[in-house]
Structure 1
């Protein structure tokens, strides 16, 4: 029996210069590719700007990546497309489709998989239409909450939902958001993320704090330093949490503003900006924290939420995305509003009566697993392909 040829498009995917860039995508695809009935090829398009921006070290390093490589058993192609940083978001799907099309024609896939609803989804839609093959697209959070509402991308997001043979969402809440955009609920399936249980597990908290030279209550934020992550609320809450230290893992455009805010509020000495933290180093960081605080404006089902709980660290998070699908018991933490006083009260309550790390970890132990995630993804691919009639030969380029 012929294997199902799947072409998966992922604009977030690790490479030699960014080993943790979309690592969760790579892990999911690696697990799905273990199915002997699947022949998977990954396409991770690289957006490169014109000169002189191309000379920037960030882009120069990307330009030197191989066009094709074998990575952890996956064949990964990296076609280039023209990128105008901050300006070309509306055109990226068409540019990606144009860059991927020659490879897609060569491989003649039975199914196209888009790992993000935007820009991957509209690109997969264009390629699928040209080749006469079905496509499936996954929504993860900002691809719906942000791109699904922007003037020049919302129409493409909705068109992707209408044309996709099936859509996946990382939470029930995100599925509801997609339906609110006009997508067919019957075509959307919730597909929870996975978890590396060997890596993310409880470690000794006292030892973890000592290793970092910490004492007293420790709060942790994990995520890009961008507006929607709202680390400013946690910094402000620190004023009313005496003796607490805040660790901020990540980088982004708001870092300078957040450093200034900490100085203005007189808490700079209790805020540590750690920059990007490698995935392998996160468990020790979660172990050192008494509470992970993430008051995001929008999320799908944040990997950091699940990883924190798996390490035994409870959450204080806002009612964004799938928060209520995860925090269903006070042992897992609290859901608060976008309000400093509520954050202070929730953190104080957890610090006053902390749950055991084992009890917190148990809340996600059986619900999230990379093996399950990969098997479900492969099953979605196969069921979509089996439901489609035999396709005609792809049309010639015009």
Structure 2
């Protein structure tokens, strides 16, 4: 089974945490003796002078081809105009990466194309599959359906990629329903839950980290990009009614400055720690040190941060987004609440007071492993290939 994985969402030296769950899934599948995977991770680079921005200079410095943590990865560039060119991305991507894919396929033919995000990967995979005469599969993860699937400029491309795929994957049953609502065929959609490194993400003593951070009261953490969709401002506002608690924001993003200003305006700046983008391998000790993890996102598929927090024995407080109800089936593991500061504060106070046994919390996600994830993915691809 030789698979071409098309993944704009994939880590690199410039963004080591970006799409790390795609890397882990791919690596787990590639470990099988009967599977060979070649990853093509296209990198969007704007024209000069925007290309001089530090972010894009870092992308330009990436190797075009490397073995990344045991996986064969190509990183071709394609042109993109930030803010106005999203609807052109699939065509521009295909034009840029086709010579590479054509060469790789002529060297040794692929059996299947695996797109790991619905946009722009899905429409690009559809066109490449058409040219190569191969089946393709697309995985839906969250914003790729909730945003790009409803944007008037990209909706048709998302719908067509879904309707023409040999098979589809959804990170939750709720995501599957969202895909069906867009007109995608229900009988071709398999729910494919994420995995988690159960050895790395596990309960541990957080005393040292809390002392290092100067936290003496309850510790609350939120993990995710600081963007409007994640709504971390609600957690900052909730902090005003949680005296003595400290909120750690693990992540970076366009809302960082606004969140700093909000914390100062509300008088809680001394209890808000902006920790930046934590290395994924360092994340378990931060999650395990917290009393509760809060993530009041407006939309999600099934957030990896939810699963990783629970695996560390830390309960979660989240809003009713994506697969929240599929994951939180035990009240010991957390609460699903309204996206309002008062409701979030009450739910967090309940979990802090409850102090659930970390090992009982962990047990609720013990089945989320990368081995199970890889086994299910292998069966999905084998079905598409008639195996």
Tell me the TM-score normalized by structure 2: 0.96
Partner residue, 2:265: 264
Q: Is the 8 A contact 1:208 1:287 kept in 2?
A: no
C-alpha separation in 2, matches of 1:246 and 1:176 = 34
Measured in 1, the distance between the counterparts of 2:37 and 2:153 equals 32
Inter-partner Cα distance in structure 1 for 2:379 and 2:124? 23
Which stretch shows the higher mean deviation, 191-200 or 54-63?
54-63
1:81 aligned counterpart, secondary structure: strand
Query: How big is the shift at 1:70?
Result: 1.7
Residues matched between the structures, number: 383
CA displacement at 1:16 relative to structure 2: 2.0
Structure 1 unpaired stretches of 5+: 388-398
Matched residue, 2:201: 200
Q: What is residue 20 of structure 1 aligned with on the other side?
A: 17
What displacement does 1:198 show?
Answer: 1.4
Displacement after TM superposition at 1:93 (Å): 1.1
The answer to whether residue 145 in structure 2 is matched with residue 148 in structure 1 is no
* Mapping of residues 22-41 of structure 1, within 5 Å: 22-41=19-38
CA–CA distance in 2 between the matches of 1:212 and 1:188?
45
1:9 alignment partner in structure 2: 6
Q: Counterparts of 1:65 and 1:345 in 2: how far apart (Å)?
A: 46
Are 2:75 and 1:74 equivalent residues in the alignment? no
What does the per-residue CA deviation read over 1:307-360, in whole Å, with 9 as the maximum and x for residues that have no partner? 000001101000000001111111110000111111111111112221011111
- How many angstroms apart in 2 are the aligned matches of 1:17 and 1:238? 33
Query: What are the Cα deviations for residues 177-216 of structure 1, in whole angstroms up to 9, with x where unaligned?
Result: 1111111111100011110111100011334422332111
Q: CA deviation at 1:224?
A: 0.7
Which residue does the alignment assign to 1:296?
297
| Kept after mapping to 2: 8 A contact 1:33/1:378 | no
Say whether residues 1:83 and 2:80 are aligned partners.
yes
C-alpha offsets along residues 72-95 of structure 1, whole Å, 9 cap, x if unaligned?
Answer: 222111111001112211111111
Separation in structure 2 between the aligned mates of residue 230 and residue 16 of structure 1, nearest angstrom: 28
Aligned residue in 2 for 1:132:
133
Secondary structure of the structure 1 residue equivalent to 2:98: helix
Q: In structure 2, what is the equivalent of residue 218 of structure 1?
A: 219
The answer for the alignment partner of 1:383 in structure 2 is: 383
Q: Which residue of structure 2 lines up, in the alignment, with residue 326 of structure 1?
A: 327
1:270-320 Cα offsets, whole Å, 9 max, x none, are 111111111011111112210101110000010100000000110100000
Unaligned runs of 5+ in 2: none
The worse-fitting range, judged by mean Cα deviation, of 230-239 and 105-114 is 105-114
**Partner residue of 2:90?**
93
| CA displacement 1:369-394 (0-9 Å, x = unmatched) | 0112122222222221227xxxxxxx
Return the offset for 1:117.
Answer: 0.9
| Structure 2 Cα separation of the partners of residues 58 and 348 of structure 1 | 39
Instruction: Indicate yes or no: 2:362 matched with 1:372.
Output: no
SS at match of 1:203: coil
The alignment status of 1:248 with 2:249, answered yes or no, reads yes
Aligned-residue Cα RMSD (Å) equals 1.2
Greater mean alpha carbon deviation, residues 117-126 or residues 201-210:
201-210
**Aligned partners of 2:206 and 2:286 also within 8 Å:** no
Measure the CA separation in 2 of the matches of 1:253 and 1:14.
20
CA distance in 1 between partners of 2:257 and 2:11 (Å)? 27
- Residues 179 and 185 in structure 1, CA contact (< 8 A), matched pair in contact too: yes
Counterpart secondary structure, 1:386: coil
